[in-house]
Structure 1
Amino acid sequence: MQWFSILAIYGLFWVLSAFLVMPFGLRTPDESGDKVQEGHADSAPVNFRPRKILLRATLLAAVLFVVYYENYVNGWITLHDLNFFGDPPVKDLGY
């Protein structure tokens, strides 16, 4: 696997991980007992910590990439394993 492919696949895992970990630990003003500030949405988090999200996303992406790379090297799950419907029928073209 080329280094650019590794970087691109890790980037995809990182973006996926960022969206997965973003909602964990956030509290709305109703949950924390704070007053909603003027101009803010009722659902806006009061304790948004982007550094924590970046760290969690980086760690999760690293774990996911290691599992992906090990599967790539060892071939645990291949495309043949994901073919749930069998091989497509062969059509006789009459040649």
Structure 2
Amino acid sequence: MSLAFGVAIYFVIWWVLLFAVLPWGVRTSEEAGEASNPGFADSAPHRPRLLLKIVATTIVSGIVFAFIYAIMVHHIIRLDDIPFFPRYERVQEAPHAN
């Protein structure tokens, strides 16, 4: 796995997990027992705690990336190990006629 490919995979994993982590612990101002500020939507989070969510996303992404890296580099799971994938036989190239 090249460095660029690894960074791209990590970025995709991080971005997907960020959207999974964003709703954790979100409460509106009404749920927190305070009045909402004028100019903000009533559904806006009271304290979004984005730094905590970014740190959690980074840690979880590192764990998921390590798992995917191990699968790809060390061939822990191959496509032939997945039971519902079709089986293809290897095709050998014919010798080139000059």
TM-score when normalising by structure 1? 0.80
1:13 and 2:17 matched? no
Aligned to 1:39: 39
- Asked if the contact 2:13–2:61 (Cα under 8 Å) also holds between the matched residues in 1, the reply is yes
Shift of 1:52: 1.0
Paired residue secondary structure (1:43): coil
Identity %: 33
1:52 aligns with 2:52: yes
- Comparing 22-31 with 8-17, greater Cα deviation is found at 22-31
The count of residues paired between Structure 1 and Structure 2 equals 88
Runs in 1 of length 4+ with deviation above 3 angstroms? 85-88
Q: Which has the higher contact order (CA 8 A, sep 6+)?
A: 1
Stretches of structure 1 lacking an aligned partner (at least 5 in a row): 89-95
Per the alignment, residue 72 of structure 1 pairs with 72
Deviation at 1:77, TM superposition (A): 2.4
TM-score by length of 2: 0.78
Post-superposition CA distance 1:56-79 (Å, at most 9, x none): 111111010000011112323222
Whether the 8 Å CA contact 2:79–2:85 is kept in 1: the answer is no
Query: Closer, same or farther in 2 for the Cα pair 1:84/1:8, shift >3 Å?
Result: same
Q: Quote how far apart the aligned CAs of 1:50 are.
A: 1.8
Answer yes or no: is the 8 Å Cα contact 2:18–2:53 preserved in 1: yes
Partner in structure 2 of residue 27 of structure 1 = 27
Structure 1 residues 31-90: Cα deviation after superposition (integer angstroms, max 9, x where no partner): 2111112221111001012211110111111010000011112323222334626358xx
